[in-house]
């Protein structure tokens, strides 16, 4: 009997619905070809819904999301809403409440035409960032003192727990084994300045590393990591880092792999409900024009199927994406692909079916 999955879909803001539409097209084709079933439950969360109803993420929706097999998310962020309300209220709240403590972001170059790095071909850019996803500066700990006066103080604290670090570092080592490429994990931190937080990170990192004698270890400060990602990206295999540094270096990662149009990520809770998303934003200026690149969302779908246990479907979708990138597209950027959003989705479906 074929398996069946319950998938919550949050198209979200801006171009989110356009890229999710293409992802769902590919999901349908994959379910036929690889013989699995799915039920999709659409949730219209985001700026539009907030402005209309005042609701951000209702408790009842959160409870429902805790019971699905996976969440497929487009984008959150609306220029009409003050920054932070939707991002904290929907995206970060879901990551936290569902304890999606790993943010897995592959940095893979499918075609050397699309990297801005000189002399770097496909074999040079193939690593993953494992970003801690529920702690650090993202916790929202801190506050204001004497707000609105000239003596105002703003404090934003970084929370780092032994448990939180241990589980994400362990995942990084396991993942280096699973990838079976360079078998190397690089801790990205700032031990020379953040002497409490990254002292703990470093101690936990070396403790966990003892359980993986077959995996090499390395360390780079976050600023140097940025430099190496440009100069010698081939040095990396798996990078593990905290929430804030992970956020920053994955935008750099996205651009060296060809841009936000192709960069996907997974918010994982290996024991619970995981959420899959293109890592670019809602791209308001391209909304409704059918020009946005849906491949990041389609790659996120491939990651979702892989994590659900449909590994072959995930792999074949990735292969189809790679062929579209290499054989068809003129660019990975919105409006310059040589095809519309819809056409790119169709191309992936065609390659998948052929």
268 contacts 70 by C-beta, under 8 angstroms:
no
Measuring CA to CA, which residue among 17, 14, 33 is closest to residue 86? 14
111 near ligand IPM (CB under 6 A):
no
Nearest-approach distance from CB 79 to ligand IPM, in angstroms = 13
Q: Tell me the two tokens of residue 176.
A: 């280096």
In whole angstroms, how far apart are CA 169 and each of 163, 195, 256, 297? 10, 18, 24, 26
Q: Annotate each residue in 160-179 with x if it binds ligand IPM (CB under 6 A) or - if it does not, as one string.
A: --------------------
Number of residues lying near Mn ion (CB under 5 A): 1
What track of x and - describes contact with ligand IPM for positions 47 through 86 (by CB under 6 A)?
Answer: ------------------------------x---------
Q: How many residues bind ligand IPM (CB under 6 A)?
A: 6
* Residue 279 contacts ligand IPM per CB under 6 A: yes
Phi, psi values for residue 166, rounded to 5°: -55, -45
| Residue 143 buriedness (CB in 10 A; 0-12 / 13-18 / 19+) | exposed
Q: Which residue has the tokens 């590994």?
A: 311
Q: Which residue has the tokens 């929370």?
A: 159
In the list 78, 247, 277, 306, the residue contacting Mn ion (rule: CB under 5 A) is 247
Across-strand partners of 188?
220, 241
| Residue 335, token pair as written in the block | 């409006």
Among 26, 61, 91, 169, binds ligand IPM (CB under 6 A): 91
What is the rounded distance in angstroms from the CA atom of residue 42 to the CA atom of residue 11?
8
Q: Would you count residue 239 as binding ligand IPM (CB under 6 A)?
A: no
Q: Rule CB under 5 A: is residue 13 a binding residue for Mn ion? A: no
Q: How far is the CB of 146 from ligand IPM (least distance, A)?
A: 28
β pairing state of 216-221 and 70-75: unpaired
Taking the complex as a whole, the smallest distance from the CB of residue 186 to ligand IPM amounts, in Å, to 20
Binding mask 244-273 for ligand IPM (x = CB under 6 A): ---x--------------------------
Smallest separation (angstroms) from Mn ion to the CB of 295? 18
Q: Given candidates 64, 87, 122, 166, which one binds ligand IPM under the rule CB under 6 A?
A: 87
64 binds, among ligand IPM, Mn ion, none (CB under 5 to 8 A by kind): none
Plot region of 296 (φ>0 → left; ψ -120 to 50 → alpha; else → beta): alpha
Q: What is the DSSP letter of 91?
A: I
213, 103 contact by CB (below 8 A): no
In the complex with ligand IPM, the residue whose CB is nearer, 256 or 349, is: 256
The answer to whether residue 18 forms part of the interface with ligand IPM (CB under 6 A) is no
Does 20 interact with ligand IPM (rule: CB under 6 A)? Answer: no
- Does 234 sit near ligand IPM (CB under 6 A)? no
Tokens 């799915």, residue located: 38
- Residue 242 interacting with Mn ion (CB under 5 A): no
Contacts of 296 (CB under 8 A, 6+ apart): 19, 260, 261, 262, 263, 264, 278, 279, 280
Site residues for Mn ion per CB under 5 A = 247
Kindly list the residues in this chain that would bind ligand IPM in the complex (CB under 6 A): 77, 87, 91-92, 247, 279
């Amino acid at each position: 009997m074929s398996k069946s999955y319950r998938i919550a879909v949050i198209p979200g803001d801006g171009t989110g619905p356009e890229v999710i539409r293409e992802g769902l097209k590919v999901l349908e084709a994959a379910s036929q070809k690889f013989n699995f079933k799915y039920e999709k439950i659409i949730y219209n969360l985001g700026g539009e819904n907030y402005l209309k109803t005042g609701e951000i993420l209702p408790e009842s929706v959160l409870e429902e999301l805790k019971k699905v097999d996976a969440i497929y998310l487009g984008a959150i962020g609306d220029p009409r809403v003050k920054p932070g309300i939707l991002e904290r209220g929907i995206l970060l709240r879901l990551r936290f409440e569902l304890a999606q403590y790993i943010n897995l972001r592959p940095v893979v170059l499918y075609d050397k035409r699309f990297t801005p790095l000189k002399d770097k071909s496909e074999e040079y850019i193939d690593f993953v960032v494992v970003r801690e996803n529920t702690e650090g500066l993202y916790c929202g700990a801190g506050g204001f003192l004497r707000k609105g006066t000239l003596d105002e103080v703003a404090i934003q604290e970084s929370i780092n727990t032994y448990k939180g670090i241990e589980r994400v570092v362990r995942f990084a080592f396991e993942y280096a084994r699973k990838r079976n490429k360079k078998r190397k994990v690089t801790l990205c931190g700032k031990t020379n300045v953040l002497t409490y937080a990254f002292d703990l990170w470093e101690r936990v990192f070396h403790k966990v590393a003892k359980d993986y004698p077959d995996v090499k270890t390395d360390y780079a400060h976050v600023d140097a990591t940025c430099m190496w990602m440009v100069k010698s990206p081939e040095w990396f295999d798996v990078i593990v880092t905290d929430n804030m540094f992970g956020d920053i270096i994955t935008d750099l990662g996205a651009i060296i792999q060809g841009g936000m149009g192709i960069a996907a990520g997974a918010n994982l809770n290996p024991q619970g409900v995981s959420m899959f998303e293109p890592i670019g934003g809602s791209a308001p200026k391209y909304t409704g024009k059918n020009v946005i690149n849906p491949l990041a969302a389609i790659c996120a779908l491939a990651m979702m199927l892989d994590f659900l246990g449909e590994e072959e479907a995930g792999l074949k979708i990735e292969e189809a994406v790679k062929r579209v990138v290499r054989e068809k597209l003129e660019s990975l950027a919105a409006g310059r692909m040589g095809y519309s959003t819809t056409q790119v989705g169709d191309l992936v479906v065609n390659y998948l079916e052929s």
